[in-house]
Amino acid sequence: MSKFLAPLELTLAIIKPDVCRNPCSLQLLRQIVLDNNFLFVDTKITHLNKLEAEKFYAEHKNKFFFNRLVTFMSSGLMCAHILAKENAIKDWRALMGPTHVFKAQYEAPESLRAKFGLTDTRNATHGSDSPDTARREISFFFPEFNMEDFYKYSEEAFRNNEVAFDPERWVHKIRDTKAQKI
C-alpha cells in the first residue's frame, strides 16, 4: 500500500540585490536553500525598474519605508525563484528568519537574514506569506508560468523526486525516465 503524499506547495523566493552583488554570498545562500530540500521549479535573474518595484510592493505604498524599499529593490540585479516543497511557504519563511535583521540575528541566528542581511531593508530575501500571495507574486515575476499546468503535468514528478538539478540554470528538471530505461 503506497502512502499518499500531499501536493507540493509553491512559493516565490527573492534573493535581493544586496546578496546578488556578491557572487560568493549568492552561491552560499542558494546552496543553503538546496540543503534545506527545496526544489527550484524556475529561476530568473532580473532587474526591476522603479515603476515595477512600486507595483510589486504596492501594498506598502503608504508605509514610511516604501520609498527606501522601492529604491533599493530597483538598485540592481535580483534572483527570483519558484520554490516547491511540502509546506514551502512556512518553511521558506522560517529559513529566511524575521524581517528585522537584528531580531533575526538574536532569535534565529542560523536564518538567511541573520547570516546575509545588512539592514531591515537590505535583509537578503523576500518570500510570499500565503498561497494567494504566492500565486500573485509568482505571476508577477514569471508571467509565462502556469500554476495549473505545473500541478497537472509536473508536480507529481517533483514530489516523487524524479528530477535532476541543473546548476547552470539553477533549476530542477524532470528526468527523462524513458532514456534511463533503455
Could you tell me how far CA 87 lies from the centroid of its own chain? 13
Tell me the C-alpha distance between 180 and 182, whole Å: 6
- Give the closest residue to 10 by CA, choosing from 50, 53, 46, 42: 42
Residue 126 a catalytic site member: yes
Q: Looking at 60, 81, 126, 172, which residue is catalytic?
A: 126
Residue 87 grid cell: 509546506
- Does residue 65 have a known ligand-binding role? yes
- Does residue 16 have a known ligand-binding role? yes
- Does residue 116 have a known ligand-binding role? no
Q: In sequence order, what are the beta bridge partners of 164? A: 173
Residue 20 grid cell: 546578488
CA dist 171 → 11, 70, 84, 95, 166 (Å): 14, 28, 11, 19, 5
| 113 neighbors 15 (Cβ within 8 angstroms) | no
- Does residue 93 have a known ligand-binding role? yes
Alpha helices in 36-154 (DSSP H): 50-56, 66-73, 88-96, 101-107, 112-116, 131-141, 147-149
| 161 neighbors 17 (Cβ within 8 angstroms) | no
Annotated binding site: 16, 65, 93, 99, 113, 123
Annotated binding site for ATP: 16, 65, 93, 99, 113, 123
Catalytic residues: 126
